[in-house]
Amino acid sequence: MANVKKNKGVIGILTGGGDVPGLNPAIKSVTMRALGEGYKVIGIRRGWAGTIGIKRNKKADNSNCYQVLTEELVTKAGRTGGTFLHTSRTLPSRVAKKDVPKHLKKKFKAEVNDLTPEVLKNLDYLGIDYLIPIGGDDTLSYGVRLYQKGIKVIAIPKTMDNDVPGTDYCIGFSTCVTRTITMANSLRTSAGSHERILVIEVFGRYAGFTAMLPTMAGAADRCVIPEYKFNIDQLTKLLVEDRKKNPSNYSVVIVSEGAMFEGGEMVFTDNKKDAYGHKKLGGIGDLVSASIKDLSANYNSGAKVNIINQKLSYLVRGGYPDAIDSIVPMAYGNLAFDLIRKGIHGRLVALKNGRYDDIPVDVVVSSKKNIDINQYYDINRLRPQYKSFEMKPLFIMTNE
């Protein structure tokens, strides 16, 4: 063993996938509670990449893979955005030959390698009793696999897309929505000044929550989402009509990056895939903008309407967390540690109907969280619909 266990045990914590505001507060919350009650906390660096890079040798420098967390370290980081542990999209069960750590290349020579046996040995080497992965369904799906292999896993949901199944809320979503609304309202001044149609592209590969909530809050007239393939003529006609009704002669549409034209597919920047098999999305906003401009003459007495095309991208995931993404991660971290104190594992901490809870972690791989089109999206108006807000959760839309 590299580390002699002290006191009550060792907790490992990591962040995987895309960064969001709220990760550092979650790490701080777990660490402060754990240290105060006699546990040791190890921060695994760069997500699952840290679990495969460890050299099980007392003389080896593993500082690139993990670090022991202290009160001073997490206190400084806890108010900031991003993740001080860093992150990656590494999937240990599918490691390309070129990405296999140097010290393992003789052992793993296939084009794609499953390094899970090394992960299990490395976690044992570190003496980790409980593992807390913080991430989206991709990151947490591997956590489920480790749980099935006997690792005591407690998962914390994180993704600005808010699409981890089983929970109404994922860390990062509120800041994303807040920033989207703020930036859309800022861009309105230019759209109105030039009497244009404003097209805003936002994150959202498979779920349209990041487009739906800002639109419902009044940041846009229309939105198009991954769950429904939209007709570009219909969208253009609606936006031209919205523009004519607006005293400042402009209109706004929010486009999810995973949105698809009727009869089309997702738009990618290239054919390269990450470890989880995802191609990099990009360009739907450009295509929508060009198409709307060309088609707008059909609904504007023969004159084309100029477009402002803005991709918000990393602007909504960088920087400090908002109030909700400061409070919820604190609560999630405490929930995770409370489970450890009780000797409970195999759980996902969650928010359900406005109350904190925990559910079986395998919900991550057994279901999907998408917008219920029939309940929440008006396919004729291409915007959110709702009949009543009574007894709805804070962010209105769930997958139940």
57-74 residue pLDDT tens? 999 999 999 999 999 999
Instruction: From the candidates 161, 221, 242, 325, give the one annotated as an active-site residue.
Output: 161
Q: In this model, does residue 3 exceed pLDDT 50?
A: no
> Where does 195-278 have alpha helices with state H?
209-216, 232-245
Quick check: 397 pLDDT over 90? Answer: no
* Mean per-residue pLDDT, 315-328: 95
- Residue percentage of the chain with pLDDT more than 90: 87
CATH numeric code, 174-314+373-384: 3.40.50.460
Give tens-digit pLDDT for 206-224. Answer: 999 999 999 999 999 999 9
H-helix or E-strand containing 173?
helix 173-194
Do residues 250 and 198 touch, judged by C-beta distance below 8 A?
yes
Give me the CATH topology for the region 9-171+322-366. Answer: Rossmann fold (3.40.50)
The pLDDT tens digits for 258-315 are 999 999 888 887 777 777 677 777 789 999 999 999 999 999 999 999 999 999 999 9
In the residue annotation, 161 being an active-site residue is answered as: yes
CB neighbour burial string for 354-370, b if at least 16 within 10 angstroms, e if fewer: eebebbebbbbbeeebb
pLDDT score recorded for residue 391: 81
Nearest by Cα to 311 from 187, 174, 171: 187
Q: In what order do the strands lie in the sheet with 251-256?
A: 222-224, 251-256, 197-202, 307-311
For the chain, domain boundaries: 9-171+322-366, 174-314+373-384
- Give me the pLDDT at residue 322, please: 95
Q: Note whether 9-171+322-366 and 174-314+373-384 share their fold.
A: yes
Nearest-CA neighbor of 370 among 209, 193, 184?
209
pLDDT tens across 340-354, in order? 999 999 999 999 988
Instruction: Summarize pLDDT for 171-203 with one digit per residue, the tens.
Output: 999 999 999 999 999 999 999 999 999 999 999
